[in-house]
Amino acid sequence: MSDAIAIARRRLTGARRVAVLTGAGISAESGVPTFRDTQTGLWAQFDPMQLATEEGFRADPSLVWRWYAWRRTLVDQAQPNAGHRALAAAEARFERLRVITQNVDGLHARAGSTNLIELHGNIMRTICLERCGFSQDSPARLAPGEPPRCPRCGAWVRPGVVWFGEMLDPAALDDAAAEAQSCDVMLVVGTSGLVYPAAGLPAGARRAGAVVITVNPEPTDLDELATVCIRGKAAEVLPPLLEAAY
Ligand code: BJW
Ligand code: ZN
């Protein structure tokens, strides 16, 4: 076990409330490419920042729908990894453990996490572009081509995720901010810390006096405010970090 993991384990001992902020890195070892790594093959010529906006969707609905159809098949084939499972199992160890995820892949829920906030929605959900209220769990393999029409109002449907420039669900964001304010320890796993408002949560936790532990194989801006910084892959670090010491 690395020194950093041993130090972080000591900081977790005695913690009652643990908040966990996760990003795409936790699903990397499940084979789901991180948002910024989806630019492979056919998609290399497109900027994800342009695909993940309402403007981009309206400009070329078929293109954006195809990108999401492809990503849905990747998510459908993926399985939760040891990192997701360690977090799900740790719910039983602490008085309160809440996972706040930026991921849209649903792998935390599939691993068994029950106390979960999905800040950026879920790629397996389909909603109405005009927000008439239509929402449906999508089959994994929604056909590419043009997006279907909303059965209620006839507008395009779109993925049930939060695009750039869109508000996060206010209740989910309030919940996440309250967890950050009240936790003893915040674990920050596999996120570049570039996308707000999620990226602001660790600073909120730190200001409120929490210990902040980061897990990432690469340096990020969040390291500056971390109490303990663990360099490593989520699926390798989280099991030894979270298993109870007997
Ligand atoms: C491993 C690993 C392994 C690899 N183990 N780790 C304040 C300042 C500046 C800008 C803004 C601000 N407030 C708001 C903004 C604008 C914008 C924003 O933040 N822009 C920045 C890019 C600057 N934010 C928004 O627009 C948000 N809305 C909002 O604020 O509304 C109010 C508002 C409206 C209008 C104007 C202004 C304000 C909405 C953000 C929605 C983000 N949506 C996406 C797409 C979801 C749908 C989809 O997937 O298609 O969410 S963007 C994308 O980034 C996705 C992710 O959830 C999110 C975060 O990415 P994440 O998870 O950190 O992944 P990566 O790829 O960046 O990093 C992976 C990390 O893993 C790396 O560090 C690796 O090293 C690591 N890793 N392998 C552990 N094995
Ligand atoms: Zn509609």
User: Is any ligand 1 atom within 6 A of the Cβ of residue 190?
Assistant: yes
pTM of the predicted model as reported, rounded to 2 decimal places:
0.95
> Which of the four pLDDT bands, split at 50, 70 and 90, describes residue 246?
very low
* Mean pLDDT value across residues 202-224: 97
Write the CA distances from 244 to 3, 10, 26, 178, integer angstroms. 17, 11, 21, 26
Task: Write the pLDDT tens digit of every residue in 6-58.
Answer: 999 999 999 999 999 999 999 999 999 877 776 665 567 778 777 899 999 99
Check whether 85 has a pLDDT greater than 60: yes
Task: Write phi, then psi, for 150 (nearest 5 degrees).
Answer: -65, 125
> Which of the four pLDDT bands, split at 50, 70 and 90, describes residue 244?
confident
Given the residues 9, 66, 108, 120, the one annotated as active site: 120
Write the CA distances from 153 to 19, 129, 144, 156, integer angstroms. 39, 10, 21, 9
Ligand 1 atom nearest to CA at 35: 66
User: Is any ligand 1 atom within 6 A of the Cβ of residue 162?
Assistant: yes
Instruction: Give the chain's mean pLDDT.
Output: 93
Ligand 1 atom nearest to CA at 218: 75
> Which of the four pLDDT bands, split at 50, 70 and 90, describes residue 217?
very high
Ligand 2 centroid, distance to 161 Cα (angstroms): 16
Tokens of 228: 């303990």
Task: Write the pLDDT tens digit of every residue in 87-143.
Answer: 999 999 999 999 999 999 999 999 999 999 999 999 999 999 999 999 999 876 777
108 is an active site residue: no
Q: What percent of the chain has pLDDT over 70?
A: 96
pLDDT of residue 47: 81
* Mean pLDDT value across residues 170-186: 98
